[in-house]
Structure 1
Amino acid sequence: MSVDARKTIFLVEDNRGDIRLIQEALKSTTTEYEVIVARDGMEAMAYLRQDGEYAEAIRPDLILLDLNLP
């Protein structure tokens, strides 16, 4: 699969166990992907707005969001 076809999954999750569980579940897919993790809502918004250190961040193909973030 070419680099251009690689999918980006943006995971917004504060629980390390849940992050690990999701990454394990994704291993069974046949699609090549990169998982980018934000640990809280502020980091997620900075990434999506391409603020500061995320100025060159790529737009994710899929966002998985923990609705119970602190």
Structure 2
Amino acid sequence: MSKKLLTLAMAVAFTVSVVGVSMAASEKCTVDSVDGDKVTMTCKSTDLKAGDKVKVKGDKKKAIEGC
């Protein structure tokens, strides 16, 4: 009985941790300027504040094919 409860508790903990990671916000922004290691972007959302840590991905570009 205790093994079943332990297994259930571990499964619930795993599910909660995965849900927390998948709830990250997603924003579409436009890069305004780049000055050395400083990038200025314009975003439509007001959810971001100065000092927030963000992860930025660039747009994927198509590969050039041919001979």
- Higher normalized contact order (CA 8 Å, seq sep 6+, divided by chain length): 1
> Which category describes the TM-score, using the shorter chain as reference length?
under 0.3
> Max radius of gyration: which structure?
2
TM-score between the two structures when normalised by the length of structure 1: 0.27
The structure carrying a bigger helix percent of its residues is 1
